[in-house]
Amino acid sequence: MSESETARDLLRNMPVFPPTLAGFDPEATPDNPLELFLAWLSQAVDAGVLAPHAVNLATIGLDGMPDARIVILKDVGQRGFSFASSSASPKGRQLQDSPSAALTFFWPAMGRQIRIRGSVSEGQTAENAQDFRRRNPVARALVLAGRQSEVMMGSGDDGVQEQLARLDADDEIVSADWTVFTVAAETVEFWQADTNRRHTRLRYSRAGRRWDKDLLWP
Ligand SMILES: Cc1cc2nc3c(=O)[nH]c(=O)nc-3n(C[C@H](O)[C@H](O)[C@H](O)COP(=O)(O)O)c2cc1C
């Protein structure tokens, strides 16, 4: 048996969703997608979904190729969906070059996906600093060392211990690179799986101060 046959066997008929799923009536949805997002998020938390705030962030690479990785959702409000990272990281540089992004949540236990697309803005200094100070010391030291996504050459320390010692001496130190990025949603799509494969997709599209709602073919 070839390697690909083994992989195909492994992948075939793999369960994706639990046997019963929450219902979703698009007719009974709010006018604002933020409200529905918060309702789905709290249902995911109640259902015990692991890391429901982990979200795939897709950006446009400096070479024009798509790039994607998981980040943690830090806040959500009328301004948009916020995550934080170093502006000196590849994603940070990509967002400076092309300030737009797509976010994708996937909560298998709920049979749900949420897709968000929009332009990206950077937080003010105070907001960035506040988020930085909330991080644990090792996470802060790693940002201060400023090497995210560089190839590791030596012991894997490269100044991290030194930054930890600096933070130990002064807990208020902040990295100027740490940035809260906010995606101002232009579209938000809610996807609800159905056990009979009649999945439901509801897309909100910004129309000035209002939102248009459309059902999409699954
Ligand atoms: C569950 C999870 C949460 C993560 N959260 C963040 C985050 O909030 N910010 C961040 O910069 N990287 C986070 N990462 C690491 C990124 O996925 C990525 O490896 C790193 O930011 C480098 O990305 P870049 O080279 O595209 O800049 C997280 C990874 C995982 C698996």
pLDDT tens digits along 102-151: 999 999 999 999 999 999 999 999 999 999 999 999 999 999 998 888 89
Residue whose C-alpha is closest to residue 21's, from 115, 107, 109, 105: 109
Angle ∠(68,149,159) on CA atoms, nearest 5: 150
Mean pLDDT for all residues in the chain: 94
* Domains along the chain with CATH numbers: 23-132+176-216 (2.30.110.10)
pLDDT tens digits along 50-101: 999 999 999 999 999 999 999 999 999 999 999 999 999 999 999 999 999 9
Give residue 68 CA to ligand 1 midpoint distance, Å.
10
Give residue 173 CA to ligand 1 midpoint distance, Å.
22
Indicate whether residue 96 lines ligand 1 (CB < 6 A).
no
How many CB atoms within 10 Å of residue 172?
A: 7
pLDDT range class, residue 217, cuts 50, 70, 90: very high
pTM: 0.94
pLDDT range class, residue 23, cuts 50, 70, 90: confident
Give residue 41 CA to ligand 1 midpoint distance, Å.
20
Residue indicated by tokens 């109640």: 46
pLDDT of residue 1: 59
Taking CA atoms only, the protein residue closest to ligand 1 atom 22 is 149
Indicate whether residue 178 lines ligand 1 (CB < 6 A).
no
- Report the atom number in ligand 1 closest to the C-alpha of 74: 8
Give residue 112 CA to ligand 1 midpoint distance, Å.
22
Taking CA atoms only, the protein residue closest to ligand 1 atom 31 is 70
- Report the atom number in ligand 1 closest to the C-alpha of 89: 27
Per-residue burial over 93-126, b if 16 or more Cβ lie within 10 Å, else e, is bbbeeebbbbbbbbbeebbbbbbbbbebbbbeee
- Report the atom number in ligand 1 closest to the C-alpha of 148: 22
Q: How far apart are CA 33 and CA 187, in angstroms?
A: 9
Structural tokens at position 193: 């799986």
Query: How would you classify residue 24: left for phi > 0, otherwise alpha for psi between -120 and 50, otherwise beta?
Result: beta
